[in-house]
Amino acid sequence: MKTVGTFCLVLHSHLPWLPHHGRWPVGEEWLYQAWAHSYLPVTAMLRRLADEGRRELLTLGVTPVLAAQLDDPYALRGVHDWLGGWQLRAHGAAPRLGELAAHEHRTSAAALTEFETRWRHGGSPVLRSLADSGAVELLGGPATHPFGPLLDPRVRAFGLEAGLADAALRTGTRPAGIWAPECGYAPGMETGYAAAGVRRFLVDGPALRGDTALARPVGDSDVLCIGRDLDVTYRVWAPRSGYPGGRDYRDFHTYDHPSGLKPARVTGRNVAPEDKAPYDPGRAAAAVARDAADFVAVVRERLAGIRERLGRPGLTVAAFDTELFGHWWHEGPAWLEAVLRALPEAGVRVTTLAGAVDAGLVGEPVALPESSWGSGKDWRVWAGSQVADVVALNTRVQEQLLAALSPGLVRDPLQDRLADQALLALSSDWAFMISKDSAAGYARGRAERHATRVADLSALLLDGKHTDAAALVESWEHPVFGHLDARSLAP
């Protein structure tokens, strides 16, 4: 079959730093659920396809702050315990939930086996093996996923370098592509990307006015931006019409409270939880096959239209949070596998972002506007009036960080700890969660906790009270990024 064009699937894996910062409902539990229901099955699916000799399946972004959690001994022990607890909950629910509990027991047992076989030494060996096999391209990014347009350029460059260096340490390769946090962009940021060795980054489709059929050089640079095709992406994940809301899929919001399991299918959008029909894995599998076929048809039609318009084969990029697949959408990993198998059979070339660029799918230079992938496709989620206090807090954190760093050739571990806490305070997650009213109290508390540590430690360092500063950090958790060298930020 003649190839109609090129499709790139991009998955963005990210959670803020969660170990030692609460357990339920948005602390460590959040990490362990995503790990069990998304990271384990998605990487297992990719390994199956790689073992068949399939290459360039997708582009996988794993933020440095998530990669650090997937390698953290405390978190590894925590998720292992969580997986065991999941199996026990399924076992205990058998008298009430019958076959559903048995299905859940089999799923949890498979997850335990996957973890104990592949993950006991952390996530980096898993990711590295997928990249080394050629199955995926790994994307990097700034260390703690900050909203770049609002950062002091020095702090922005420091966080990006820390993240790229961290990826090189964990996977053996420094990424050439990044998922810019929240797809946040301000004119001129491509200069910093070029200086860091970044060759390509993601933007949302509206930043390119919807013209996402080719990668585009940004301004006068040779750094490429690649746009997310919303017409294709929203076929999967749209608030009212995406596949996960289909009647036969497992309902995310309905719980069997004694066990914590989810026993119902969606049934209907306006059906009360107590009236929802029981989950049926067979019906869900049929829905996966139906919706995978629909998506393949959508992609092929999109690429045929691009080819007719350009007079040459073009590109469509669908990009999602990895956590959609498995955690939010129980059947998501199975749907991904079905799509990745079916697209080549439909005459669609599947490759990575690097593969698309290598194939010459590059257009004319473009001047990008201020943009993001958030509400309104502007900066309102991270810079709006509802988070004005967080914006002001972040400004103070950066000022205190920069002021406390003294020039010199001797590395000061206390300055490195200061930088570590500052980067955690600057995570974009806190403003996002507040703007979306999703665990806003937790988000504000986390931002203020890290900012307070920065204020206290920077004051002691400025006063030359190193003994007191050392005593202060003794009570903190271990640093997230032990390789940070704050000297690069010092005047």
The 10s digit of each residue's pLDDT in 452-465 is 999 999 999 999 99
Q: For position 237, what pLDDT does the model report?
A: 87
Give yes or no for residue 439 having a pLDDT over 70.
yes
Q: Angle 440-462/428-435 helices, nearest 10 degrees?
A: 150
Asked if residue 442 and residue 325 are part of one domain, the reply reads no
DSSP notation for 401-464: HHHH----SS--HHHHHHHHHHHHHTBHHHHHHHHTTSSHHHHHHHHHHHHHHHHHHHHHHHTT
419 φψ region: left (φ > 0), alpha (ψ -120 to 50), beta (else): alpha
Asked if residue 179 and residue 229 are part of one domain, the reply reads yes
Q: For position 409, what pLDDT does the model report?
A: 66
Average pLDDT, the chain: 96
What value does the mean pLDDT take over residues 336-351? 98
pLDDT confidence bin for 407, thresholds 50/70/90: confident
* 60 inside domain: yes
- Per-residue pLDDT of 157-215, as tens digits, reads 999 999 999 999 999 999 999 999 999 999 999 999 999 999 999 999 999 999 999 99
- The position carrying tokens 């010199």 is 408
State the pTM of this model.
0.97
* 379 inside domain: no
Chosen domain end from 323, 358, 393: 358
Give yes or no for residue 274 having a pLDDT over 90.
yes
Q: For position 408, what pLDDT does the model report?
A: 73
Which residues are CB-contacts of 180 (< 8 A; sequence separation ≥ 6)? 141, 148, 189, 201, 202, 203
* 69 inside domain: yes
- Per-residue pLDDT of 82-118, as tens digits, reads 999 999 999 999 999 999 999 999 999 999 999 999 9
User: 220 pairs with which residues across the strands?
Assistant: none
Asked if residue 389 and residue 353 are part of one domain, the reply reads no
Q: Can you state the percent helix, strand and coil of the chain, rounding each to 5?
A: 55, 10, 35
Asked if residue 224 and residue 87 are part of one domain, the reply reads yes
Domain count, the chain: 2
What value does the mean pLDDT take over residues 367-387? 97
* 363 inside domain: no
146 φψ region: left (φ > 0), alpha (ψ -120 to 50), beta (else): beta
Give yes or no for residue 55 having a pLDDT over 70.
yes
Chosen domain end from 358, 376, 405: 358
49: domain CATH number is 3.20.110.10
* 161 inside domain: no
Asked if residue 315 and residue 241 are part of one domain, the reply reads yes
Asked if residue 340 and residue 250 are part of one domain, the reply reads yes
Domain assignment of residue 67, given as a range? 5-140+175-358
Give yes or no for residue 368 having a pLDDT over 80.
yes
> What percent of the chain shows pLDDT beyond 70?
99
Give yes or no for residue 485 having a pLDDT over 80.
yes
- Rg value, the chain, Cα: 23
Asked if residue 242 and residue 109 are part of one domain, the reply reads yes
Q: For position 333, what pLDDT does the model report?
A: 98
* 365 inside domain: no
Nearest to 136, CA basis, from 15, 232, 8, 230: 8
- Per-residue pLDDT of 302-341, as tens digits, reads 999 999 999 999 999 999 999 999 999 999 999 999 999 9
Strands 216-217 and 224-228: antiparallel
What value does the mean pLDDT take over residues 271-276? 95
User: Which residues have a catalytic role annotated?
Assistant: 182, 321
Asked if residue 339 and residue 470 are part of one domain, the reply reads no
- For residues 296 and 292, give the distance between their C-alpha atoms in angstroms, rounded to a whole number: 6
Q: For position 411, what pLDDT does the model report?
A: 87
- Per-residue pLDDT of 232-258, as tens digits, reads 999 998 867 899 999 999 999 999 999
* 203 inside domain: yes
Give yes or no for residue 68 having a pLDDT over 70.
yes
Asked if residue 124 and residue 75 are part of one domain, the reply reads yes
Nearest to 190, CA basis, from 166, 222, 213, 158: 222
- Per-residue pLDDT of 117-168, as tens digits, reads 999 999 999 999 999 999 999 999 999 999 999 999 999 999 999 999 999 9
Q: For position 163, what pLDDT does the model report?
A: 98
Asked if residue 267 and residue 179 are part of one domain, the reply reads yes
Using CB atoms within 10 A of its CB, is residue 386 exposed (0-12), middle (13-18) or buried (19+)? middle
Asked if residue 329 and residue 250 are part of one domain, the reply reads yes
Asked if residue 292 and residue 413 are part of one domain, the reply reads no
401: domain CATH number is 1.20.1430.10
* 166 inside domain: no
